[in-house]
């Protein structure tokens, strides 16, 4: 993992979150919408472009391919993907913690 791996885009963050269990493209789109209460809606182009990048970086891998259903692929986060996700989660927690600290100081 390198410095350029973080910060993650919001789309990548949620895609990694959505593939903690095997999930296919449309399932990822639905999961992200559900998690964000509709605030983040991934378009197919954004999703599949990100999936290609995440596969190249070895942050996700193909879990299975359903040849009966238009070769629908399921993806799963890899150990490296988990490391990257965890580093981003820690970074975001630090941002939030520092903002809360500044609010306390102002009081």
From first to last of its 107 residues, the chain has per-residue pLDDT tens of: 555 667 999 999 999 999 999 999 999 999 999 999 999 999 999 999 999 999 999 999 999 987 776 778 999 999 999 999 999 999 999 999 999 888 888 77
Q: Closest by alpha carbon to 13, among 82, 99, 63?
A: 82
- Cα(82)–Cα(60) distance, integer angstroms: 9
- Give the predicted TM-score (pTM) of the model: 0.87
**Backbone angle region of 37, left / alpha / beta, with phi > 0 → left and psi within -120 to 50 → alpha:** left
Please name each of the domains of the chain with its CATH number: 7-106 (1.10.10.10)
């Amino acid at each position: 993992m390198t410095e350029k791996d973080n910060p993650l885009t919001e789309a990548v963050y949620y895609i990694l979150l959505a593939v903690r269990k095997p999930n296919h493209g449309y399932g990822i789109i639905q999961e992200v919408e559900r998690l964000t209460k509709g605030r983040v809606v991934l378009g197919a182009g954004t999703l599949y472009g990100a999936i290609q990048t995440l596969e190249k970086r070895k942050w996700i891998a193909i879990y299975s391919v359903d040849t009966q259903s238009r070769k629908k692929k399921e993806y799963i986060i890899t150990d490296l993907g988990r490391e990257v996700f965890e580093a981003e989660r820690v970074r975001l927690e630090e941002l939030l913690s520092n903002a809360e600290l500044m609010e306390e100081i102002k009081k």
